[in-house]
Amino acid sequence: MPAEPLSAHDIEAGLRELPGWQLEGDRITRTYRLPSHFAAAGLTVHVARIQEELNHHSDLTLGYNTVALAVHTHDAGGAVTRKDLTLAARVEAIAAGHGAE
């Protein structure tokens, strides 16, 4: 069963619980700045594990000391769903442990 798109109100409410995340077009995004390339690469590996566990894969970009995510649900027509907020919350929970800002 495909995930249901969230209303604008539900997206805004979910983002209030996710500091640094924002709605950009049809996806939620966040860029983390980390103390080093090694820390950024480590966070990327952890995000990939979360994506596999949830079977929900976002756009994930590794820069020198940054990790950027752009998240939306393909099987909901590219809309933001509860799955996206869950993924974002899981990433938030581990990002601080990598020294992310």
Residues 37-54 pLDDT 10s: 999 999 999 999 999 999
pLDDT of amino acid 41: 97
**What are phi and psi for residue 8, nearest 5 degrees?**
-55, -40
pLDDT of amino acid 1: 66
DSSP assignment, residue 73?
B
> What's the rounded Cα separation, in Å, for the pair 80 and 28?
7
CATH number attached to the domain at 8-98: 3.30.1360.20
Helical H segments across the chain, by residue range: 8-16, 37-54, 82-95
The proportion of the chain whose per-residue pLDDT surpasses 90, expressed as a percent, equals 90
Domain chopping of the chain, boundaries: 8-98
pLDDT of amino acid 2: 75
pLDDT of amino acid 56: 94
**What are phi and psi for residue 30, nearest 5 degrees?**
-160, 135
